[in-house]
Structure 1
Amino acid sequence: MQVAQYITEQLAQWGVTRIYGVAGDAILPWLDALGKQQQIRYVACRHEAAAAMMASAEAKLTGKPAVCTATSGPGTFQLLNGLADAQTDRAPVVAITGQVETYKLGGEYKQYVPQEDVMRPICRYTTTVTHPQAIGEVLQRAFVTAESQQGVAHLAVCKDVFSRTTGCPLIPELPRQASGLRADRGEVEQAAEWIGRAKRPLMLLGIGARGVADACQRLAEQAGAGVLVSLGAKGVIEESHPLMLGGLGEGGSRAGLDALAAADLLVILGASWFPQEYIPAGLPVVQVDRSIESIHFHPDLFSVTADLEEVLPLWLRRLENKRPDPDWMARVERWHAAFWQETEQAVDAGPDQPVTPEALMHALSRAVDDDAVITLDTGEHTIWFNRAFRAVSQRPLFSGKWRTMGYGLPAAIAAKLNQPQRQVICVTGDGGLQMYMSELMTAVEQETAFLLIVVNNGTLGLEEWKMRQSGLVPFGTRLQNPDFVQWARACGVSARSIRSRDELASALAEVCASDRLTLLDVQCTLPTLTERKREIPFQAQASSVYNERKI
């Protein structure tokens, strides 16, 4: 069969159900093959970066390799932003791009660039296919690498190769991935001894703890440990639980800082994110992670390189007779009450008052389904979400380490296509939305139904605040926005605007219950200086807490 048909049939056999991309000259033969079959859904995006972000979001949500495509030259370059997000967040994505014809390689031809050189910094594997007999082996290697190494793999296929005949056999199944590392029993036992001796333990959960949420909660209860969560772990344990103390870092809570200042052990489970400036000097740390690359550099750290699925049951049996310190438990419960009240007090304003980002996120947490997928763009609203959204078991999707603006809308499209039965909410800033706002037509075309919330404050808020905090005069941060409601309606999307708090709760309840694609333009005020200080427990504040601890 032709290489274009071979790639399509092989991907279908490996369980690929959709491909995100933008049409272009160098992939036209493959698009022809995709258009003649029904097993794989081709999602025609408006921008290649958005296509790669959709693939990244799918991979984060499902844990399986997702696929995106683009043409040579500018199409390949525009994939890079979304692929970098996948690579830095360890999401398995396979990018298949077109390349100029084989006889044009190395020449000064239009849209030619050596793609391997471009892709190498953000890929686990990249190669160029110049012969039809090579396609089978390199396609399998790309998928195995993306899945086993949790990152991006890339194939550039020359345009003329797509139309040539290959004799490569179709492989029904990929090689089975190893189940994981076997834990070193000595490491596990020594770490358990540390936890057993601790009288004032804390746990920091990351996104890697999502699959073992029940075991993490049982361990916290058994050990008497207060719990902090990264943004990726929000919803792993319900935030109303008396051991929950909120987040850590820019979107964290004062209660978390106070608990860290008093703790005698921090146990990190599945968290590659670790803001060391918030961790008191001399605090012992135990970390468990399956990836040695995620083990933190810290002078007082004991690491266990293994799967949480193996370690946690061993710890639970080993620590079954441990009795939490009652004084510590009483302090944790007081901190939990303080964490819970932080936002409650902050949003207690009159109904005719303007909407603040904090009030919006708090109200949203009361309106959405317990198992909703919430896609977040990058910006100030992400910090407010982390602080003020009271999670039950919702799943946030966001650009974690790459932190690209524009991620929210593409991620929401991918989330709804992959899990149409779940409620999907996108929260984006006005700046982030305008990066890839054309993808709203992709959402319409794909017949997706989700809520798109625009936090509209007319500025790149986080950048403006950081300039002010640094003693700089804000410049280049203010935005002249379109009428988002009119724009959405022009796309055939239901839309409305919210300007005061008395509208907020009822509007959110109504649009969250809808089964239509809806845009909610929320006119938000810029936080005051007092609100800003409450928003971010800055390092200076953290240092004062730690100095008190040393005293």
Structure 2
Amino acid sequence: MKVSQYVTEQLVAWGVRRIYGVAGDALFTWLDALGRQDEIRYVACRNEAAAAMMASAEAKLTGRPAVCMATMGPGTVNLLNGLADAWADRAPVVAITGQVESYKLGGGYKQFVPQEDLMRPLCRYTTTVAHAEAIGDVLHRAFATAAQQKGVAHVSICKDVFERQTSAQIVPELPRVSAAVRPDRIELEHAAERLADARKPLLLLGAGARQDAEGCRRLAEQLGAGILLTLGGKGAVDDSHRLVLGGWGEGGSEAGLLALAEADLLVILGASWFPRSYLPKQLPILQVDSHAESIHAHPRLLSVTANLDDVLPLWRRRLESRQLDDAWEEQVERWHAKFLEETQAIVVQRNGDKIKPETLLHSLGNVVERDAIVALDTGEHTLWFNRAFRSAAQWPLFSGKWRTMGFGLPAAIAAKLVFPDRQVVCVTGDGGLQMCLAELMTAVEQDVSFLLIVVNNGTLGLEEIKMKQKGYRPFGVSMRNPDFARLAEACGVQSRSVQTVEELEGALREALASERLTLLDVSCTSPTLTERKKQIPFQAQA
């Protein structure tokens, strides 16, 4: 069969159900093959960066390799931003790109660029297929590498190779991916002793803690330990749980900072990041992670390289005879009450007031379904989500370490395609939306329905606040925005503008009840520096 047909049939056999991409002449033969079948859904995006973001979002949600595609030259270059998100957050993505004809490789031809050189910093594997007989082994290695190493794999296929015949055979299954890490018994026992000796422990749960959220919660209860949640860990334990103290860092809680100041041990479970400037210098740390490269370089840190499901049962058995420190547990519960009070205090507004972003996100938390997926763009509203949104079991989907603006809308589209029966909400700033605004038509074409909330404050809010914080006069951050509601209507999207607090919750409920793609253009305040310093602890506290 032709290479184009082989690639299509092989992806079907491996369970690929969506490919995100933008057409280009290096892909014509493959696009023709995709158009002649109905097992893989081709999602025609407006920009290759958004296509890669969609693939990254799908991979984060499923844990399986997701696929994006682009043509040669500018198409491949455009992919890089979305692939960088997958690289930074360890999401398994396979990017398949077209390339100039094999006899043009290395020459000064139109749209030629050495793609492997471009991709290498972001990829676990990258290669160019210049002969039809190589396609089987290369494709297999790309998928196996992306799946096992949790990262990006890239296959560039020359334009003429797509049209050639190959004798490569369809491989029905990929190798089983093993996530097993053989724990060191002495390391485990040493850590258990440290945990048993702690009188005032805290747990920090990250995205990796979701794999055994129940075990993490039970460990906290056994220890009487306060629970801090990273943005990725938000929803792993219900915010209403008596030991939860909120987030940590710029979007964190004052209750969490108070607890850190008094704790005698911080236990990090499934979190590859924490804000060091908020960490008391003398606080000992115990970290568990299955990836050694995610263990933090810290002089007071004891590490355990293992999977949580191997560690937590052993620790719980070792701690059965440990006596709880009732005074510490009671103090944690008081901090929990303070954490809830903090939220109520920052969202208090009068009818007629312009909406604060924290009020918007708190109100959203009151009305979304318990298992909703909340796709977040990068910006000021992300901090307020961490601080003001009261999570039960919702899943935040965001650009973690790359933190690219424009992620929210593509991520929401992918989330709804992957989980059509789950409620999906996208929260984006006016700046982030305009970076991928054209993907609104992608959402319309794909007939996906979700709520798209635009935090419209006419500024790149996070940049404005940080410039003020450093003593600069904000410049280059103000934005002249279109009428987002009318723009959405022009695209065939249901829309509404929300101006005041009394309109907000009703508008959210109405939009969430709709079975149509709906945009809410929410006019929000841009808080002054004085207000923001009261609300977000920018400075480290011992």
Counterpart CA distance in 1 for 2:275 and 2:346 is 26
Query: Which range moves more in the overlay, 419-428 or 307-316?
Result: 307-316
Q: Deviations over 1:248-279 (max 9, x none)?
A: 11111111111000000000000001211111
1:30 and 2:52 are equivalent in the alignment: no
Contact 1:427 1:454 (C-alpha < 8 Å) held by counterparts: yes
Counterpart CA distance in 2 for 1:225 and 1:161 is 59
Shift of 1:184: 1.1
Query: Which range moves more in the overlay, 470-479 or 445-454?
Result: 470-479
Q: Deviations over 1:25-57 (max 9, x none)?
A: 101110000001111000000000000000000
One-letter amino acid of the structure 1 residue matched with residue 97 of structure 2: T
The equivalences for 1:263-274 within 5 A come to 263-274=263-274
Counterpart CA distance in 2 for 1:538 and 1:468 is 12
Shift of 1:194: 0.8
Counterpart for residue 227 of structure 2 = 227
One-letter amino acid of the structure 1 residue matched with residue 138 of structure 2: V
Counterpart CA distance in 2 for 1:536 and 1:352 is 25
Q: Give the 3-state SS of the residue equivalent to 1:245 in structure 2.
A: coil
Contact 2:465 2:529 (C-alpha < 8 Å) held by counterparts: no
Shift of 1:294: 0.2
Contact 1:224 1:323 (C-alpha < 8 Å) held by counterparts: no
One-letter amino acid of the structure 1 residue matched with residue 292 of structure 2: I
Counterpart CA distance in 1 for 2:176 and 2:236 is 28
Contact 1:65 1:143 (C-alpha < 8 Å) held by counterparts: yes
- Percent of pairs identical after alignment? 67
One-letter amino acid of the structure 2 residue matched with residue 239 of structure 1: D
1:84 and 2:84 are equivalent in the alignment: yes
Shift of 1:485: 0.4
Query: Which range moves more in the overlay, 530-539 or 283-292?
Result: 530-539
Counterpart CA distance in 2 for 1:364 and 1:301 is 38
Shift of 1:322: 2.0
Counterpart for residue 469 of structure 1 = 469
Contact 2:468 2:529 (C-alpha < 8 Å) held by counterparts: no
Q: Give the 3-state SS of the residue equivalent to 1:247 in structure 2.
A: coil
Shift of 1:283: 0.9
The equivalences for 1:491-506 within 5 A come to 491-506=491-506
Contact 1:384 1:535 (C-alpha < 8 Å) held by counterparts: no
Counterpart CA distance in 2 for 1:267 and 1:530 is 34
Counterpart CA distance in 1 for 2:504 and 2:488 is 19
Shift of 1:351: 1.4
One-letter amino acid of the structure 1 residue matched with residue 512 of structure 2: C
Contact 2:287 2:301 (C-alpha < 8 Å) held by counterparts: yes
The equivalences for 1:341-352 within 5 A come to 341-352=341-352
One-letter amino acid of the structure 1 residue matched with residue 31 of structure 2: L
Contact 1:65 1:93 (C-alpha < 8 Å) held by counterparts: yes
Q: Deviations over 1:333-361 (max 9, x none)?
A: 11111111111012222111110001001
Contact 1:222 1:323 (C-alpha < 8 Å) held by counterparts: no
Counterpart CA distance in 1 for 2:11 and 2:303 is 38
Shift of 1:321: 2.2
Q: Deviations over 1:123-175 (max 9, x none)?
A: 11000000001000010100011011110000000000001000011100011
One-letter amino acid of the structure 2 residue matched with residue 452 of structure 1: L
Contact 2:469 2:529 (C-alpha < 8 Å) held by counterparts: no
Counterpart for residue 366 of structure 2 = 366
Contact 1:243 1:336 (C-alpha < 8 Å) held by counterparts: yes
Counterpart for residue 294 of structure 2 = 294
Shift of 1:529: 3.1
Q: Give the 3-state SS of the residue equivalent to 1:425 in structure 2.
A: strand
One-letter amino acid of the structure 1 residue matched with residue 79 of structure 2: L
Counterpart CA distance in 2 for 1:531 and 1:58 is 37
Counterpart CA distance in 1 for 2:211 and 2:5 is 37
Counterpart CA distance in 2 for 1:210 and 1:106 is 46
Shift of 1:179: 3.8
Counterpart CA distance in 1 for 2:411 and 2:245 is 28
Shift of 1:86: 0.2
Counterpart for residue 282 of structure 1 = 282
Q: Deviations over 1:294-314 (max 9, x none)?
A: 000000111000111111111
Q: Deviations over 1:177-198 (max 9, x none)?
A: 1241121111111111111110
Counterpart for residue 4 of structure 1 = 4
Counterpart CA distance in 2 for 1:533 and 1:336 is 22
Give 5+ residue unaligned stretches, structure 2.
none
Shift of 1:451: 0.2
Counterpart CA distance in 2 for 1:38 and 1:496 is 36
Counterpart for residue 120 of structure 1 = 120
Counterpart CA distance in 1 for 2:199 and 2:39 is 56
Contact 2:346 2:535 (C-alpha < 8 Å) held by counterparts: no
Counterpart for residue 109 of structure 2 = 109
One-letter amino acid of the structure 2 residue matched with residue 508 of structure 1: L
Counterpart for residue 206 of structure 2 = 206
1:52 and 2:52 are equivalent in the alignment: yes
One-letter amino acid of the structure 2 residue matched with residue 2 of structure 1: K
Counterpart CA distance in 2 for 1:445 and 1:531 is 42
Query: Which range moves more in the overlay, 77-86 or 523-532?
Result: 523-532
Counterpart CA distance in 2 for 1:347 and 1:462 is 19
Contact 1:266 1:284 (C-alpha < 8 Å) held by counterparts: yes
Counterpart CA distance in 2 for 1:139 and 1:101 is 19
Contact 2:372 2:422 (C-alpha < 8 Å) held by counterparts: yes
The equivalences for 1:106-505 within 5 A come to 106-505=106-505
Contact 1:409 1:433 (C-alpha < 8 Å) held by counterparts: yes
Counterpart CA distance in 2 for 1:505 and 1:530 is 27
One-letter amino acid of the structure 1 residue matched with residue 435 of structure 2: M
Task: Give the aligned CA root-mean-square deviation in angstroms.
Answer: 0.8
Query: Which range moves more in the overlay, 140-149 or 312-321?
Result: 312-321
Counterpart CA distance in 2 for 1:335 and 1:12 is 52
Identify if the C-alpha distance between structure 1 residues 347 and 179 changes in structure 2 by more than 3 Å, giving closer, same or farther.
closer
Counterpart CA distance in 1 for 2:68 and 2:334 is 49
Q: Give the 3-state SS of the residue equivalent to 1:85 in structure 2.
A: helix
TM-score of the pair, normalised by structure 1: 0.98
TM-score of the pair, normalised by structure 2: 0.99
Shift of 1:413: 0.1
Q: Deviations over 1:467-516 (max 9, x none)?
A: 11111111110000000000000000000010000001111111112111
